[in-house]
Structure 1
Amino acid sequence: MKHIYNILLIGIISCFFSCYTEEVKPTVITTSDYTVLVDYAVSAQDTIGNIPGTSNKGSVTFTIVSQSVPNALSIGETYGELIVQDASAFDPEINTEMNLVVSVSKNEITENTNISITIEEPCPDVNINDWLGKIAVVNNGTQTAAFGIENDCSILTLQGGDVAGLTCDVEAEISIQYEESDSNIGIILVERQAYDCVSGSNLELEADGEYDQDTGITTLNYTLYENNSINSTGTTTLFFDASSCTPVVNTAIWDGNLTVEEPGFFVVSGTGKSGCNTLEISGDILNWGCDSGLLPALEISFTPDSDGATTGTAVMERQNYNCNAGENLEIEATGTYNEDTSTIDFTYAFYIDGEEFFTGDIVITPN
């Protein structure tokens, strides 16, 4: 009986101390600063994020302490949802960012967290077709050739061309932002960026100017920097080279790294360089096993099914497959392309010394 009494007494004492320890354990709140990018086209009652906050003592309470745009947002007291109350406050012409301080509380213990909200501006929608494909670049009376590729948000990537009159020995690339306008004349901006036009130099270029959709001319008023100091300023014009073709296929989809697969047999890599309704693909796309330093560069031409179509035929005329020294290798292929799925499907034939050696099917997609 005495042993039972002792066991009960020890149990009661252990429970007392463990319960007491639990009661005096300090409340700890865990939270962190929070950053969110918000689309300008939000609506009232949209949730744009959840504030992080927990406690070692269970649920916490969220409260807005301050906000830089009054009454723009409310917060869910239990789960910390940031909820839009005034959608008009998210117009980027009025506010480009908002800042809030939110308290996270439990048992009279409070931690504050800082909330930074950036409002994403609408993407410009400008028809820049006049500057796609082969472009003439004129600087101080000298004309050079470049190639224009459209990216998202009306940004033109200009490949090549002597924009700053430097007699380039490297094909430089710059990005030009076309801004929306209520007329056919609008402004362009070139943010300061590397201009790798001359080997071994440290050049940067920035510019402003305008475009005219009626004349098809873009004017750049540029400043050229070398080693962070101004080197020169000037004006350059860009216009479509009418002697070239009209781009009707967005071959820029296959610019850069590509995957080439013959289903069930191999997957290899290639590199694409877009042209006007053409694509040059470099690489051992048939997994033949090329000599070191030798890679075929193959030309593909595209024809849409109809005006404005995003599908059509792709053709690789019979051409050299320059892969092994001393061997006479050729390839030809026909197939289809689909801009929406970013795929080129080919049925090909491979020739050695003029004789068909094997055939197959490959699929080309961007990485």
Structure 2
Amino acid sequence: MKTLYKYIASVLLIVIYVSCNESDDSISGITVNTEDFTITAPVVVQQRDTLGFLRGSSNSGEVTYTLLSQTPENSVVLGIRYGEIIAANPEVFNADITNQINLTVEVKKRNVTRISNVTILRNLNDPDGDGIENNSDTDPNNPCVPLQDLTYTGFNPFNSIWGAADCDDDGMTNADEVNSGRNPYIDESTIGDADGDGVRDDVDPEPNNPCLPEQFAGYQDFNPENEVWAMGDCDDDGVSNADELANGESPYPLPDLPCNEILNFDLGNYERELRTVDSNNGEGVTIGVIGEDCGTFFFTGGSLFNQGCFNEDLSIPFFFTPNDPTSSNGTIVVNLTEYSCLSEDRVSSRLFTVEGFGSYAGASSTVEFTYTITELGDDIPEEERVTTGTLIIRPLS
């Protein structure tokens, strides 16, 4: 009897194990429902427009969708969980490429899948491309009727009838205006620029303020003949725009940017050991420290000019100025600076001044500097006081 009980228990355990590990979804009872269907796109489709939603359900919760194929390709993308059909390429829907887009979609819950075939029809109810369907368009074959305001963007830029028209009658086709960033519904030549800042009044946030929208040094599109602009002070330094321009200076401020962006040269790369090659004294190594003001860099260490100095407090400021706002090259200047040179015995020292000019190159992070060093002291012969030379500073590697 005990043997019989053991046999029955073993059979029950096997049945329970098989039931718990059964992967056949027909046994699990999961069902997925979907269907084939057709939708019609709007008369004008914009990027990221929602065109519709896929159809599918399951008796076991939310289904997922996978786009298996589409013709033409890259027409749409799907919102994976909720089946949103999103326009990826508006030209497919707006141009005469095809009249329908065909999708094959897998609808899935666990291992149960169904296929849904979706057809998206291009909307042909706007032959003139003005974005107004025929039943609402007072002149379905005239792309410029009804009249639109200046902010209207509902037109079909791929429609050949609309593109060939000239809705603002300025001699430029709608298509050419859109391609050049102009407004096809207004003749820009009739719009003034009251403050002379180079921004048309229709897009200028402050048409009577020559300093708004804010511009920065290097901006050249202003009208120097405009009195409103000439009397302005766009860098707020107490000097009028006209006077700054006459003095050869920019009437606009430097942008509030990190110094590296202003110089187009990362001075931070110089905060390490750098190789120095001096035309008089050969090679050496120096280090540097960024100054508080943009473009100011202090080269330190007694080996800057490879004179055999051992000063730990040597600090000679170099001033970096870019050639123009977009250049990574520029000039450097060292104003007359006095420094001492502690000799090898660490007791006696010599006093010098240095000044000069040169250039920096962003691509190679290299400085080339022509200097004049003058040794101070009454016991120095005149012919030995002044030394001129060239110093090149660059990264060690």
Instruction: Point out the structure with max Rg over C-alpha.
Output: 2
Per chain length, whose mean CA-contact separation is higher, i.e. which structure has more relative contact order (CA < 8 Å, sep 6+)?
1
TM-score, with normalisation over the residues of structure 1?
Answer: 0.32
TM-score, with normalisation over the residues of structure 2?
Answer: 0.30
* Higher helix proportion (structure 1 or 2): 2
* Higher strand proportion (structure 1 or 2): 1
